[in-house]
Amino acid sequence: MKKRGTSQIDWIMSLALFLLYIGWFFAFVAPSIKFNSNKDSFMTSLKNNFENEFSWELQKYPLFIEYNESTSSKPIIIEFNNTEIKFMDGTDYITWNNKLIFLANISQSIKTYWILQGVSHNNSYNYYGLNAKDNWASTENFSVFFNQGLPYNVVYQEQTKIHDIDYEINEVSLNPSNYSYTNFGFAAVYVSTTDNINHTSFVFANNYEIDNFLTLKNTGNYIFTLRLELDDYSSYYSNNLYYGDLSYTNETQHVNYTHDSVTFYNAEKGFSMFFDDDVSFNFTYYNTSLIVIIKVPFTGEYEYNYFFHEGNYNVISRTDYSTKFGAIETLEGINLNKITTNYDYLKNKWDFPKNFNILVYENSSAYSYLQNPKYEIGTFNPNKRNVYAQTEDVVSLDNDGTYNPMHINYRIW
């Protein structure tokens, strides 16, 4: 009886140990088998999550400028609807009222500027030789004086070329309710505002021009009147019908006609005005006085320009350059500035069921594992078993459009 009892106890203990072993097997071995069988899908999911989270795209395209001369500071104003851009060579620019405005450095007949779409200017502008305050802007040999944001006096090569400018809208003096200025380094911008009309003027570094724009808050029909008292230029020219000499005497003389431009000049210097459409010119001259009254009908945005230059009408035109955009190329890569190392946040956002560790190295050198990673997401325990790891070579994309090699080490357990 004693031996039979002992045998039964041994049998019961053996059964218990066997059942315990089976329990441990399913508790620990089976999950490992399940993980191993799905390790590729987990790894693919982790890599996709990382790349979707931290990749970005930029569009790259060329801007071609054709110009017949060489200059280091040609003002360019072109129609442009995008705001989130950057020149790859760091050229400063303004985007204003669906226009792209910058100084071009042109040393050949066709200059190519590369533009990145999807990244903004850093809002830090260089100095180009332009000084500006709220009532004046000055570059070498050229100064423009402002009254409530409106140009009223111009000095070119130490001579006053415009003594005074008066402004009217529908025969009523233009009285701004607000005005402001901003110096962007290469350009100073002056804005004069009424209830319905904005008058905006641009003065550029190392250039002798003023570009003016009228914009309306509400559409309508308006007559914009300019009255300028000019230096005593000896001649004027608009075209082969409207031209002549201005012979100053004690008797008041008048010239009236309609055209979209005029150049006043003498033996050395000239002053040209250009308008979007035909305007009414009235010249009154006597003694040494030349007064020009210009009536400008407009219903929407309107541009007019002043150019001060050497020589006569043969040396100047309103737009002496042409521009064209090229094909768009899409760039894609990891944006290192977007990477966050908040493991709990990412694990929850990605709804990732396993533990993971991601090491981001900045280059793909064979020795990069000897370096510290630039980023590490999650903490890895080197004693951990059943770890699945992969390393992938990728590229990062900087905000200047530059690709840099890098690689990422993924680990899952």
Q: What is the CATH topology of the domain spanning 140-316?
A: Beta-galactosidase; Chain A, domain 5 (2.70.98)
The three-class DSSP label of residue 158 is coil
One-letter amino acid of 217: K
pLDDT of residue 26: 46
Question: Would the pTM count as exceeding 0.75?
Answer: yes
For residue 114, the model assigns a pLDDT of 96
Give me the pLDDT at residue 376, please. Answer: 96
Helix (H) or strand (E) holding 332: strand 329-334
Q: Which helix (H) or strand (E) holds 164?
A: strand 159-169
| C-beta separation of 116 from 88 below 8 A | yes
pLDDT attached to residue 366: 52
pLDDT, position 30: 43
Domain range annotation of the chain:
1-32, 33-56+333-412, 140-316
**R_g of the chain, CA atoms, integer Å:** 36
What tens digit of pLDDT does each residue of 390-405 get? 999 999 999 989 999 9
* Cα–Cα distance, 328 to 105 (Å, whole number): 23
Per-residue model confidence (pLDDT) at position 249: 92
| Contact in structure between 61 and 331 (CB atoms under 8 Å) | no
For the chain, the maximum distance between any two Cα atoms, rounded to a whole number of angstroms, is 152
What pLDDT, on the 0 to 100 scale, is given for residue 37? 61
Return the H-helix or E-strand segment holding 348. Answer: helix 343-350
3-state SS track over 106-130: ECCCEEEEEEEECCCCCCCCCCCCC
CA distance 185 to 100: 16
d(CA 211, CA 219): 22
E strand or H helix that includes residue 293: strand 289-298
Please give the backbone phi and psi of residue 14, each rounded to the nearest 5 degrees, phi first: -65, -40
Say what the pLDDT of residue 268 is: 86
Q: Name residues of the chain where pLDDT drops below 70.
A: 1-37, 364-370
